[in-house]
Amino acid sequence: MRLQNKIAIVTGAGSGIGRGIALIFAKEGAKVVLADWSEKGGKETTEQIRAIGGEAVFVKTDVSNASDIDKMAETCLQKFGRIDILVNNAGIVKFGTLHETPEADWDAVLNVNLKSVFLGSKRVIPEMLKEGRGKIISTTSIAGLVGFENVGSYCASKGGVIALTREMSLEYAKHKINVNCIAPGIINTAMTKDMLTDPAQKKFFESSTPYPRMGTPEDIAFAAVYLASEESDFVNGHVLVVDGGWTAK
Ligand SMILES: NC(=O)c1ccc[n+]([C@@H]2O[C@H](COP(=O)([O-])OP(=O)(O)OC[C@H]3O[C@@H](n4cnc5c(N)ncnc54)[C@H](O)[C@@H]3O)[C@@H](O)[C@H]2O)c1
């Protein structure tokens, strides 16, 4: 198994991509702390992991709140003794033209998608320094690489995740802490459900994705397993694009 006895925290593990990552991590032998603000989703993922014989604990967490992040890390340390892997994955999107975007929407998206990466990384890095190694993986988006209309706050937050990934990768490489991110294309999850049921948007997504299907949470989870495992020890500050070819054009 590729993550045998590793200890991982996955945020946004109550749904979609985060659930897919948590499940595959457990299948690969990791013990997983599931952090999500949805108790229902978190408990469902916990049950799914236990059903396949894995070990998981759920912590209700708002990733934009420093004391919740501290509780998440403390739970992991108390339950499993250390933190090997942090996946900063929780995220939200809000739609609208930039000039009509309420300031509160901007703040919410930046806090959940970008500030969370700062808070989570800041909290776990001292633990990883003690261990002399670690893996930090964040879920950005192709919206951090190319423009999309009507999601200004989302694009800014995901571009910020890429910039912060590169910064942290330089700062902590000497301590054998790898910091990378994954940029998914369009993945079939709760976040994209409405878009994928709208015929015009579905057509746009399909015509923009060279590979002849939409992505699945497992497509992203397989990339996360690679970045979490020792196979990727020499990969640092990388944006691993998993988009069916959208941005290759
Ligand atoms: N689905 C896509 O097409 C796609 C594409 C690119 C990037 N992403 C990114 O992937 C990540 C996961 O998205 P998804 O598609 O699985 O969406 P999703 O809505 O299925 O899952 C997001 C999860 O994050 C949780 N969450 C939201 N805000 C939170 C908070 N403040 N604290 C804790 N948990 C919170 C939700 O409860 C949910 O369980 C996000 O960062 C998203 O931006 C998704």
Query: Does residue 246 belong to any structural domain of this protein?
Result: no
Ligand 1 centroid, distance to 131 Cα (angstroms): 29
The predicted structure's pLDDT at residue 220: 99
Active-site annotation holds for 154: yes
Query: Does residue 35 belong to any structural domain of this protein?
Result: yes
Do the Cβ atoms of 22 and 6 come closer than 8 Å? no
Kindly state the average pLDDT of the residues 83-90: 99
State the angle between helix axes of 116-131 and 152-172 in degrees (0 to 180), rounded to the nearest 10.
20
Which residues surround ligand 1 with Cβ inside 6 Å? Answer: 11-12, 14-18, 36-38, 41, 61-64, 89-92, 112, 139, 141, 184, 186-187, 189-192
DSSP-based three-state secondary structure for 135: strand
Q: How many CB atoms lie within 10 A of CB 135?
A: 26
In this prediction, residue 104 has a pLDDT band, given cuts at 50, 70 and 90, of very high
Q: For the chain, how many structural domains are there in total?
A: 1
Choice among 154, 172, 211, 226 that is catalytic: 154
Query: Does residue 245 belong to any structural domain of this protein?
Result: no
Query: Does residue 249 belong to any structural domain of this protein?
Result: no
Question: Model's pTM, two decimal places?
Answer: 0.99
The predicted structure's pLDDT at residue 59: 98
In this prediction, residue 16 has a pLDDT band, given cuts at 50, 70 and 90, of very high
- What pLDDT digit, counting tens, does each position of 29-46 carry? 999 999 999 999 999 999
Mean of the per-residue pLDDT values of the chain: 98
The predicted structure's pLDDT at residue 134: 99
Query: Does residue 247 belong to any structural domain of this protein?
Result: no
Query: Does residue 159 belong to any structural domain of this protein?
Result: yes
Residue 114, domain extent: 7-240
Ligand 1 centroid, distance to 63 Cα (angstroms): 11
Going by C-alpha positions, the residue among 103, 185, 99, 104 that lies closest to residue 150 is 99
In this prediction, residue 157 has a pLDDT band, given cuts at 50, 70 and 90, of very high
The predicted structure's pLDDT at residue 228: 99
Ligand 1 centroid, distance to 84 Cα (angstroms): 22
Ligand 1 centroid, distance to 174 Cα (angstroms): 31
Residue of 142, 189, 239 with the most ligand 1 atoms within 8 Å of its CB, for mutation: 189
Query: Does residue 164 belong to any structural domain of this protein?
Result: yes
DSSP-derived secondary structure letter, 96: B
Query: Does residue 1 belong to any structural domain of this protein?
Result: no
Instruction: Report the nearest-CA residue for atom 10 of ligand 1.
Output: 139
Residue of 15, 67, 116, 206 with the most ligand 1 atoms within 8 Å of its CB, for mutation: 15
Instruction: Report the nearest-CA residue for atom 20 of ligand 1.
Output: 16
DSSP-derived secondary structure letter, 9: E
The minimum-distance atom of ligand 1 relative to the CA of 19 is 16
Kindly state the average pLDDT of the residues 65-91: 98
Kindly state the average pLDDT of the residues 127-142: 98
Which two structure tokens, joined as six digits, stand for 107? 């703040």
Greatest Cα-to-Cα distance within the chain, rounded to the nearest angstrom: 51
Ligand 1 centroid, distance to 34 Cα (angstroms): 13
What is the domain-level CATH number for residue 199? 3.40.50.720
The predicted structure's pLDDT at residue 138: 99
Instruction: Report the nearest-CA residue for atom 40 of ligand 1.
Output: 91
The minimum-distance atom of ligand 1 relative to the CA of 113 is 41
Kindly state the average pLDDT of the residues 139-157: 98
Cβ within 8 Å of residue 45, ≥6 positions away: 13, 14, 18, 19, 22, 23, 34, 36, 56, 58
